Structure 1
Amino acid sequence: MKEHIKILIIGIFVVIASCNKREPEPTPTQTVCDPTYNAQIKPIIDNKCALSGCHDVNTTVADFTKYSELKSRADDSKLRQYVLEQRIMPPTTTTQLTQEEEDLFKCWLDNGAKEN
């Protein structure tokens, strides 16, 4: 008889434990970061960097009207260093990047500075 009571108590416990409806843990939402060069990055470069006297076709330093030149600066980390870390580009005499532009630019660099 005692054995039946133990089995009954264990059975009740199992039933109660299995009835506990647990909500799944919410997964943290991730911001999708996939800016495209032509749609989002090039307009920033054209308006803030590839200007006359800065990084245009007449520049000896870096012609950012060409993706290949911009990509080479991205690959050697100079772009990140000057724009995002030291914040010396664009120079303070021109319009600075907005926070949204900085975020897009950082995301683009973090994802390999692709021409897409």
Structure 2
Amino acid sequence: MALKFKMNRKGWLAVFAGLLLFAACESDPVLTGDEVSYAGDIRPLIDQNCTFSGCHGAGSVQFELLTYNQVKLKAAAIRREVWELQNMPKDRTMSLEKREKFKDWVDAGAPNN
């Protein structure tokens, strides 16, 4: 014996909305504790390697990297110089692990976290 199942328009909309909600929840990133933090990881690296006289400190003729907004505006260029070209910092003493933090932070959208 076959069962007949008929769903009205509201029923289909409810099913569709439920599927969308489920899909949205599935795409949320899982926080692992390994995320790169601007305040905890990136800002200290910039302070140690970039914001001294003659580089990207106060009054820099190139550009300053003193605030989050200044860093965010230059995030793609920083990633390129630090990770891809490895031209920065000028003394090239930054470890691969620290360089990777810049890459990961920019790849995550350069969040102010």
Shorter-chain TM range is 0.5 to 0.7
- Following TM superposition, by how much is the alpha carbon of 1:60 offset from its aligned partner in structure 2, in angstroms? 2.2
Tell me, in whole angstroms, the C-alpha distance in 2 between the residues paired with 1:88 and 1:113.
Answer: 20
Aligned partner of 1:60 in structure 2 is 61
Q: Which amino acid aligns with 1:86?
A: L
Percentage identity across aligned positions?
A: 33
User: Secondary structure of the residue that 1:41 maps to in structure 2?
Assistant: helix
- In the alignment, the residues of structure 2 paired with residue 33 and residue 79 of structure 1 have an alpha-carbon distance, to the nearest angstrom, of 21
Q: CA deviation at 1:99?
A: 1.7
CA distance in 2, matches of 1:100, 1:85: 13
> Which amino acid in the other structure matches residue 69 of structure 1?
Q
In the other structure, the counterpart of 1:112 is: 109
Matches within 5 A, 1:1-12: none
Structure 2 portions without partners, runs of 5+: 1-31
| Aligned CA-pair RMSD | 1.6
- The equivalent of 1:18 in structure 2 is none
Q: Which runs of 4+ in 1 moved over 3 A?
A: none
Give the count of matched residue pairs.
82
Q: Which amino acid aligns with 2:70?
A: E
Between the aligned partners of 1:104 and 1:35, the Cα distance in structure 2 is: 6
Which residue does the alignment assign to 1:88? 87
Q: Which residue does 1:44 correspond to in 2?
A: 45
Query: In the alignment, which residue of structure 2 is the partner of 1:79?
Result: 78
* CA distance in 2 between partners of 1:114 and 1:85 (Å): 20
